[in-house]
Structure 1
Amino acid sequence: MQHVGIRPAALAAALVLSSSCGAAKARDAGDDDAFASIATLRQAYATGALTPAGMTRLFLHRIETLDKAGPSINAVLEVNPDALSIAGKAPRKGSLAGIPILLKDNIDTGDRMLTTAGSLALATKPAPHDSAVAAKLRKVGAVILGKTNLSEWANMRSNHATSGWTGRGGLTLNPYVLDRNACGSSAGSGAAVAAGLATVAIGSETDGSIICPASMTGLVGIKPTVGLVSRTGIIPISSSQDTAGPMARSVADAAAVLGAIAGSDPRDPATKDADKHATDYTKFLDPNALRGKRIGVARQLAGIEPNADRALEHTIALLKAQGATVVDNVEIPHLKELSEHEIDVLLYEFKHGIDAYLASRPDQPMTNLADLIAFNDREAAKEMPWFGQELFLQAQDKGDITDPKYIEMRDRNQRLAGPEGIDAALAKDHLDALLAPSWGPAFVNDLVLGDHVVSGDPTVGGVSAPAAIAGYPSITLPVEFAHELPVGVVFFGTKWSEPTLIGIAYGVEQKAQAYQRPKFLPTLPIK
């Protein structure tokens, strides 16, 4: 397994370079600054107390000492060799000017870093161009610090996979308790931000890949409406469900990043209406946002894990105390039907999407899914020591996305999850949003048997499924801890309802005040 870190010589050179980048009165960034918010850093940059180069140097040091050594979180696959040079030239203006950010390793960057989805099959040359997300981040002055580990191929290779494991990078650990899982597929993005290895990160989700890792690493994660954020240059699974989104330690930081990456892109037809809805989402950080809101509790997605249920009850109390009306036990129609064909739709779309993506990458030798399957067979000792590639094989057997069977399943799923599901539940009780427990505390890593996820209704696939299949937005945030592990809740709503969800989450966050820095415990003590 390859572990790409910072070479000592490169780190020493980076420190020399960075020393010339800051103003004379700037202080050295310390470990507390690693957990500073975007607003705090921007203020410190404006006064000269801190510099983007100084913060970048701090994060590079923490990646070297916490991620690659020490607790060895293994969240960061690769650091940007140009990060300090970029930070030294960071603009003063821009919503994320000088803010160090990590990207999941399925998001193209047209620089010296690789984009591999964690697979050795793509570990050849960098992508030729920035993804739309990376280009937008550069435009607002963000410092792209590196790439994070993930679940290989975003958990689309095997039903028996362990989240956060890749052939290229090994297993990402949960920084709260190191023998616990960080969930997936955006495991590295979640673990890195929780551990203070970057200010914020970008993850991606098809179904649960932002919401679950954010929940299990104590973060705020926003899964946007499909079509709000361009997927151009992101290794795909599903054209109907994929989206990138922010992972952060606060609602305010997540809102700031979402505003930076949202918008239309002619290369992604799903985003044709994005410019009508994209905005500065920090405008909705109103501490009184809960007053007058009507929020429905989706009890269908509760009752599975007791710690998650306690977090749900805690949240209901917070909502009521701040003037929200809570409508309990709201039924989402068709919930159990959503699992019937979701995977079939994803298999069709993955085969089509991955072939199209590989065609856009002449920098590497893989041309289609069949090539990837053959590569894994040849490199089975490195790529398949723990689990196989049955999902790849099933996808390869699917027909084209012009297949009427596929089209019928896709349209049915989206109709039942969206207009006849979430929208119907909202309309029946005149609700602004729906609430459910998120995943319970992080489960123990098990490379032999794979993930042990306790979440929502297992016949649905988890609390993320309704919004994911509908293409509607959801947001998770921590509300308490159980056994040293964060536990959160999920709010979700209709298409383009990000402003409402952000306001609700911010109101809950201000009262819950649940974020805690991780302790890097080796395991939980037996009492």
Structure 2
Amino acid sequence: MSKRILNFKVLLAILLIAAIFPWNHASAEIKKQAFDPFEKSIDEVATALKTKQITSEELVEYYLNRIEALDKQGPTINSIITINNKALETAKALDTELKKKGPRSKLHGIPFVVKDNYDVVGMPTTGGSVALKNAYPTKNAFTVQKLVDAGAIVIAKTNMSELAASYGRLGYSSMGGLTINPYNLNRDASGSSSGSAAAVAANFAVFGLGTDTSGSVRGPANVTGLVGIRPTMGLTSRSGVIPSSLSLDVTGPMARSVKDAGLVLTAMAGTDKEDKATKFAKQHVQDYTKALDSSSLKHARIGVATDFFGDNVEVDTITNQAIAKMKSMGTVVVPVSFSNQTKYLWTPVLGPVGDAEFKSQFEKFLSFLPAGAPKTLQDVIDISESPEVLNSETPVNPARLEGLKTALAQADTLYSKEYKNIMNKEIPKTREEITKIMKDNKLDAIVFPTMSCPASNRFDKEDPTYICEAYDTYAASYVASATGFPEITVPAGAVEAGVPVGISFLGTAYSEQKLLDLAYSFEQATHARFVPVHTPETIQ
């Protein structure tokens, strides 16, 4: 055998050994990085963290990279107001804790976004108002703290309609500008929890938190292909959240699946001594995902609220197809109709209550802010009308500013006969009406299109393809707001313009488990959610 052949065989042997051992090690390293968080559920991410396919630090970096690539450039979704500059540091600490002690919960190490009216330590709570840009809280909102205690990581605060009221500019604020719908850049992401909805839909986090006064979780979730929950009044705390109207406000989750939304609701719900409305929450909180029933529609009786159809042909078609699907699964469908007042509750209930409560409740929130922050509604108005703000790229929406002035002038109505009549007579009457309809028809839930029209034109850009015959496309949302009853919206399809459309399941107080079962059953039968075209999986 020649020396040349021998050397070749030695070299080949070395290469084979190198191929077997170092390459296997390299493969393990590649496999470790192979987990792709895009569109993944909480369960999938939690499993990947537990099995060391990815670290929480890598997860945070992944979402920060997506935010950088897609939120302020590219499609410019503009959903984020403030990045949490301690998110990576927190993630590293949670990775260490995971190795030593195991996970705190399924949410351990999982990033989420928070609407910018929730208090988060180290980040200003602006409510979308530039007047509050330096309003740094001293502790987390109760619900945020519960999620943090479970190991979840606040990665960013999200944009919203200014101080949670849109006044014709859905998802616009002086602090954050306009949030765009990631499914169609000519459409808005509804309001007021537009930023959280757009961010979760665009995969900037695993889930998000919103607030809902008159549809502000359900509307944005509906137009961005998400599951959004408005819980029963009193199931989740509002302490540490800028109030809009505490008789109507709730906090709730937004996620890409029913199970994820249920997991977050389970973690954030509970009694908070600083929010009297939650006094009995601990008696009702449960693990809402422990036994989700995909067959629940097979045995269900569903009322269809016929009053909220007729404003858009495509939305009606999608909703009717959803109802037909339920019937094919065995659901008994019963048409139901509401009283004339309940068909449109804004003027007789929601509007007057909001106007009466806002000033005093908002100023109480401001009173807890550190020195130097605005302390009165007049202070906020003065800053909003300053030349610096008026001449900025994102001045306060003029109609929103007028709304603040109206609230200032109507503060005394909190003690009026009209307000007391609404609280003591009209709201209980509406609850009794819905409860009677449900009882008389032996219904498990009432179903309707979450919004009667698709995502609307952004205020600054005309889209001639948008058609809506509604006086108020959010009218159906007011029923849950006025009664304090729970409602869940779940994706049902999409219109030709590419924006999602959802249907809602409404129930009586503390029927979250039943509603989640029904929504889950529908979701698993239809798989209607799809990925936004403007926020692709691969980011160059």
Structure 1 unaligned blocks of 5 or more = 1-22, 523-527
Question: AA paired with 1:98?
Answer: G
Q: Which residue of 1 aligns with 2:5?
A: none
2:113 to 66, 83, 102: 102
Aligned with 2:59 (options 38, 55, 62): 55
Higher radius of gyration, 1 or 2: 2
Q: Is the counterpart of residue 187 in structure 1 residue 194 in structure 2?
A: yes
Asked if structure 1 preserves the Cα contact closer than 8 Å seen for 2:115 and 2:157, the reply is yes
Aligned-partner Cα distance in 2 for 1:289–1:68: 42
Partner residue in 2 for 1:462: 475
Q: What CA distance in whole angstroms lies between the structure 1 residues aligned with 2:527 and 2:514? A: 20
Separation (CA, whole Å) in 2 of partners of 1:104 and 1:339:
24
Q: Does 1:149 align with 2:156?
A: no
Q: For residues 492 and 144 of structure 1, what CA distance do their matches in structure 2 show? A: 30
Is it true that 1:241 corresponds to 2:248 in the alignment?
yes
Distance 1:453 1:369, change over 3 A: farther
Q: Is 2:181 the counterpart of 1:177?
A: no
CA contact (8 A) 1:34 1:197 kept: no
Partner residue of 1:205? Answer: 212
Who is 2:70 aligned against? 66
The corresponding residue for 2:145 is: 135
Instruction: Give the 3 Å change call, closer, same or farther, for CA 354–44 of structure 1 in structure 2.
Output: same
| 1:227 equivalent in alignment to 2:234 | yes
Contact 2:384 2:396 in 1 (8 A): no
Does structure 1 residue 361 correspond to structure 2 residue 364?
Answer: no
Q: Is 1:438 aligned with 2:450?
A: yes
Equivalent pairs counted in the alignment come to 493
Using the TM superposition, give the Cα deviation of residue 339 of structure 1 relative to its aligned residue in structure 2, in angstroms.
Answer: 2.8
Greater share of helix: 2
Secondary structure of the corresponding residue to residue 297 of structure 1: strand
Query: Could you tell me the TM-score, scaled by structure 2's length?
Result: 0.87
Deviates more, 1:454-463 or 1:227-236: 454-463
Is the 1:177–1:521 contact (alpha carbons within 8 Å) kept by the matching residues of 2?
Answer: no
- State TM-score, norm by structure 1: 0.89
Q: CA deviation at 1:444?
A: 1.6
**1:394-448 deviations in Å (ceiling 9; x for gaps):** 111121634443222223332233122x212111211111000122321221238
Q: Structure 1 runs of 4+ off > 6 angstroms?
A: 23-26, 452-457
Equivalent in 198, 214, 217 of residue 221 of structure 2: 214
- Give 2:485's match in structure 1, choosing from 465, 468, 472: 472
Name stretches of at least 5 consecutive residues in structure 2 with no aligned partner.
1-27
In 1, the alpha carbon distance for the partners of 2:37 and 2:519 equals: 24
Residue 129 (structure 2) aligns with: 119
Candidates 413, 427, 437, aligned match of 1:425? 437
Give the aligned residue type for 1:396: L
* 8 Å contact kept, 2:173–2:397: no
- For residue 308 of structure 2, the aligned residue among 289, 301, 305 is 301
Structure-2 residue corresponding to 1:40? 44
Is the Cα–Cα contact under 8 Å of residues 29 and 58 in structure 1 kept in the other structure? no
Indicate conservation of the 8 Å contact 1:34/1:59, yes or no: no
1:349 aligns with 2:361: no
Q: Distance in 1 between matches of 2:224 and 2:90?
A: 29
Go from structure 1 to structure 2 and tell me whether the alpha carbon gap of 1:333 and 1:445 turns closer, same or farther (over 3 Å shift).
Answer: closer
Which of residues 409, 412, 432 in structure 1 aligns to 2:425?
412
Q: Deviations over 1:76-97 (max 9, x none)?
A: 1111101011111224221311
C-alpha separation between the residues in 1 aligned to 2:486 and 2:248?
A: 11
Q: Percent identity?
A: 37
1:125 and 1:396, CA in 2 relative to 1: closer, same or farther beyond 3 A?
closer
2:352 is the counterpart of 1:340: no
Query: Could you say what the CA RMSD is over the residues aligned between the two structures, in angstroms?
Result: 2.3
The 8 Å contact of residues 34 and 55 in structure 1, kept in 2 or not, is answered as no
Is residue 2:260 matched to residue 1:271?
no
Q: Is the 1:104–1:148 Cα contact (8 Å) retained in structure 2?
A: yes
For 1:48 and 1:456, locate their aligned partners in 2 and report how far apart those are by CA, in whole Å. Answer: 52
**403, 407, 419: which one pairs with 1:391?**
403
SS in 2 for 1:444: coil
Counterpart for residue 28 of structure 1: 33
Deviation at 1:71, TM superposition (A): 1.2
